[in-house]
Structure 1
Amino acid sequence: MLETFPTSSLIAAIVVVLSLSLLGYFAWKTLITSNLFQKGVNLYQAKDYPGAEAAFRQVISINSTNDVVRLFLGDVLNQQGQVEEATELFREAIRRSPKKADAYLRLANILMQQERQEEAKVNLLQARDLLQKQRQPEKAGKITHLLDKIDAKPLNNS
């Protein structure tokens, strides 16, 4: 029985050290990701789109599940005229997080720029419905107003 005590203490110490190491690793990874993300946002606001793109791509390489970063990267790519890649990032964000209204709004924006109103309307309707379900009536109301404007456009051109 005396021999078991030191062995179990050693095992417990190893488990604690491993747990602390894992905790430290994830804390470090989160800090690095957070710093890179903030750097990307700052570069985007400064209109340094290539720099922002590099920062956001680094964040995604560290944390591939972060869809908010994909949305920002899509915005950066759109600003650089890389519309197809931006469109695909927004579609990917929708597939991964179908309840993220911002992805539908960003996709609708690109579709409107490409004069693809019908596809844009589908995405705007989806975003509006999600915002209503998420109890954000003001944002949903703005989208309704925008949809009304889109629907009124053909009548004004007649």
Structure 2
Amino acid sequence: MLETFPISSIIATSIVAISLAILGYFAWKTLATSDLFQEGVNLYQAKDYQGAEAAFRKVISLNSTNDVVRLFLGDVLNQQGQVQEATELFCEVIRRSPKNPDAYLRLANVLMQQEKQEEAKNNLLQAKELLQKQRQPEKAQKITHLLEKMSAKSTGY
């Protein structure tokens, strides 16, 4: 029994050390991603769209599952006139996370810029429905007002 104690102790210590190393790696990766994301947001707010694009693309390369970063990248691309790529990003987020109302709102915005009113309305209705289900009535009400304005504008009233 005494002979197995040191081996089991070494194994337990090794498992703990490996676990701590893995945890440390993920903590570092999260911190690096967070810093890059904040840098991208700051650059976007400063209207340095190329810098923001680079930062957001780097965040995506570190964390490919972050849909919020994809939405920001789509906004940046839209600001730079890269509407098709922005549209593709918003559609990708919708495919990956169909209950994300922000993706529908951003896609609707791009579609309105392209004067695709019916497609934009469909996306606004989807966002409104999701916001209602997610118990965000104030945001849903804003979309209702926007839809009413769009309808009034299209009918000439």
Secondary structure of the 2:98 match is coil
CA distance in structure 2 between the aligned counterparts of 1:70 and 1:84, rounded to whole angstroms: 14
Measured against aligned partners, the alpha-carbon deviations of 1:109-132 in whole angstroms (never above 9, x if no partner) come to 000000000000110000000000
Stretches of structure 2 lacking an aligned partner (at least 5 in a row)? none
Residues 3-152 of structure 1 mapped to structure 2, 5 A cutoff:
3-152=3-152
CA distance in structure 1 between the aligned counterparts of 2:155 and 2:132, rounded to whole angstroms: 28
CA distance in structure 2 between the aligned counterparts of 1:154 and 1:30, rounded to whole angstroms: 47
Measured against aligned partners, the alpha-carbon deviations of 1:48-104 in whole angstroms (never above 9, x if no partner) come to 000000000000000000000000000000000000000000000111111110000
Structure 1 stretches of 4+ with a deviation exceeding 3 A read none
CA distance in structure 2 between the aligned counterparts of 1:36 and 1:154, rounded to whole angstroms: 43
Q: How many residues align?
A: 157
TM-score, normalised by the number of residues in structure 1:
0.98
CA distance in structure 2 between the aligned counterparts of 1:7 and 1:29, rounded to whole angstroms: 33
1:2 aligns with 2:16: no
TM-score, normalised by the number of residues in structure 2:
0.98
Structure 1 residue 35: Cα displacement: 0.1
